[in-house]
Structure 1
């Protein structure tokens, strides 16, 4: 979900010092600043959370702007939209030049853009280059629960991990600022509008400045068109076939490794090899949710094969007993060589929608 950790909930107070909030110096002559204990800060922000929740009853959105310094300066920007009337959420975040986009619709399911290279390569392999999103059906999805658990809702960001002593500054224009430092030396500034609702949260530390800007009222979330969407189940199947050779060979090597451990230095029995490798194939096909790999007995062992249903290309590897050794596709295998299915397919981004509003530093590090 696109949710800020506490270190990602806000950005610099510089935006407040910039033109958007600039006023003649004399206009702030009546500003009043008081000190707050941690208990008082919690109570004050709880009141702001309640007012903000009321203001956002028909919807709200948040814009994110951040700069993260990890060697080079990396720009992070995003927008989160909550439409309670239509039970929908959208989340877009751009880290440098990489876009993460996701949607959630109550009672329907989750959408995610194909941010991972393997996802895009899979749809091209399928002959569907127009596809830009994956959809996972989830009829029980409750958007309100999702927002309160994982979104940057005012009711969440103003009540979690805010027990710090700080200050309250009331401006003569009717707005209020709350400021405090965390144990990690992150400087927070929470700006509250004249109506008592959350306007911005800002945090700054030695590595990052980040700002979340809130607005309230009815929202519109437009989900991806069916013509540009693919089932996540089908997409995952495509990714498996994209790496078909690695998958089949990996299963063969893992089976061979198990055979050798079973033999424990003795002559490898063909019957034992066939039984163990077949069990390995069955287990991996079950994990993949499809009978991708087929097994056939051959002299001294078995042949593992698979055929890509989109490209119609086939791949096969033999696993054969050879004295005290097991040969996979012409190469002798040691007991420690097995790679197994989990290592056979490159990592892919999980389908979590909306994308978590993570610490901007983590987002920047993930694409650096």
Structure 2
């Protein structure tokens, strides 16, 4: 099994879990022998049990799922929750892992949260507030190191402001809503209707994944289950929905930092590299400008200052430049530790010498 970092394995798990329960591209009814009571497409009979099995064409399935999506949308108008369990066994590629995810949506207050957990690797949690922005949990080692350097260890979330954010758009991009799952599942399938009014719709896609959608007696999507076995391994995902008012509590201000401020902190972890890069870039530009002739100190100073100005336009680490004998000194000071790193860039005949000060 390859060694995966925490963010990498969580990303892989999220991709697998989110991508498995989708509309089969060319689904067809289960290739197993028809159950008792099954007839041709569009027809159904009752078996000895109370279940009734029906084979649905793509058009019939699309019509059925349109109704399920509509009922689920109505039921979720006041809020909904999705709980997911997943297991991946792919030892020759991304490895074997399992975990859970929970998505909670409060349309009334315009709030959303999602927590994705992979056993042995930790969790990633996000919050979204319509008209305000998105909170993302801090877990990357560099982010943690930056917060420690900034003396902000109580911080657990980075906030990115976005006054244009809408709940509907964010949920559509970051969660598997019941209506979206139902609406996209529109290929031929087998429906089993139970005595209590619930029903299960099953299809198999071209890759052999069995996908079953469960519908409650009121016509809403209550869950989904998908299994895929292949040469690369096996994946199983189970999804359950609940409808009704939900409670989402956003992170406290004391536990939050702006994503821009955090990015600046992370950049200062590599302050020495940033200053050295500016110094070397300026030196290279000065040598090029001299065209093989003796490098003039005045010309070197002009070129290096341009490099520093260009760097400061877009980089988080603020670099300063000052004159020294034979050239310039470029330096930066960490605003949290107050430590300074500096390099001199000096003319030496046709060469330019860079040294750490």
TM-score of the superposition, structure 2-length normalised? 0.79
Q: Please, which moves more after superposition, 254-263 or 55-64?
A: 254-263
Mapped partners of 1:74, 1:157: distance in 2: 24
Mapped partners of 1:227, 1:111: distance in 2: 13
Q: How far apart are residue 237 of structure 1 and its match?
A: 1.6
Q: How far apart are residue 323 of structure 1 and its match?
A: 4.3
Question: Which residue of structure 1 lines up, in the alignment, with residue 33 of structure 2?
Answer: none
What does 1:156-305 align with in structure 2 at a 5 Å threshold? Answer: 156-160=180-184, 162-206=185-229, 207-260=234-287, 267-288=294-315, 292-305=318-331
Distance 1:31 1:280, change over 3 A: farther
Q: Contact 1:3–1:150 (CA<8 Å) still a contact in 2?
A: no
Q: Contact 1:3–1:152 (CA<8 Å) still a contact in 2?
A: no
Q: 1:9 aligns with which of 14, 21, 41?
A: 21
Q: Secondary structure at the match of 1:329?
A: strand
Alpha-carbon displacement from aligned partner over 1:88-132 (angstroms, at most 9, x marks no partner)? 001111122321011011122221111111111111111122111
Distance 1:190 1:270, change over 3 A: farther
Question: Which residue of structure 2 lines up, in the alignment, with residue 135 of structure 1?
Answer: 159
**Unaligned stretches of 5+ in structure 2?**
1-10, 23-46
Mapped partners of 2:90, 2:347: distance in 1: 52
Distance 1:6 1:301, change over 3 A: same
Distance 1:273 1:56, change over 3 A: same
Alpha-carbon displacement from aligned partner over 1:277-329 (angstroms, at most 9, x marks no partner)? 3233222222135x611112333432211111111111012233444444332
Q: How far apart are residue 5 of structure 1 and its match?
A: 7.5
Alpha-carbon displacement from aligned partner over 1:18-55 (angstroms, at most 9, x marks no partner)? xxxxxxxxx98232222223333222222211110101
Q: How far apart are residue 246 of structure 1 and its match?
A: 1.8
Distance 1:328 1:155, change over 3 A: farther
Mapped partners of 1:285, 1:229: distance in 2: 27
Distance 1:288 1:39, change over 3 A: farther
Q: Secondary structure at the match of 1:311?
A: coil
Q: How far apart are residue 3 of structure 1 and its match?
A: 8.3
Distance 1:67 1:262, change over 3 A: farther
Q: Contact 1:28–1:171 (CA<8 Å) still a contact in 2?
A: no
Q: How far apart are residue 190 of structure 1 and its match?
A: 0.8
Distance 1:69 1:301, change over 3 A: farther
Q: Contact 1:132–1:229 (CA<8 Å) still a contact in 2?
A: yes
Distance 1:90 1:294, change over 3 A: same
Aligned-pair RMSD on alpha carbons?
A: 2.8
Q: 1:83 aligns with which of 92, 106, 109?
A: 106
Q: Contact 1:28–1:172 (CA<8 Å) still a contact in 2?
A: no
What does 1:80-119 align with in structure 2 at a 5 Å threshold? Answer: 80-96=103-119, 97-119=121-143
Q: Secondary structure at the match of 1:224?
A: coil
Q: Secondary structure at the match of 2:273?
A: helix
Question: Which residue of structure 1 lines up, in the alignment, with residue 150 of structure 2?
Answer: 126
- Aligned: 1:63 with 2:83: yes
Distance 1:183 1:268, change over 3 A: farther
Q: Please, which moves more after superposition, 83-92 or 317-326?
A: 317-326
Distance 1:194 1:4, change over 3 A: farther
Alpha-carbon displacement from aligned partner over 1:110-156 (angstroms, at most 9, x marks no partner)? 21111111111111111122111122222232222322343212232
Q: Secondary structure at the match of 1:159?
A: helix
Larger RCO, structure (CA 8 Å, separation 6 or more):
1
Mapped partners of 2:307, 2:283: distance in 1: 10
TM-score of the superposition, structure 1-length normalised? 0.77
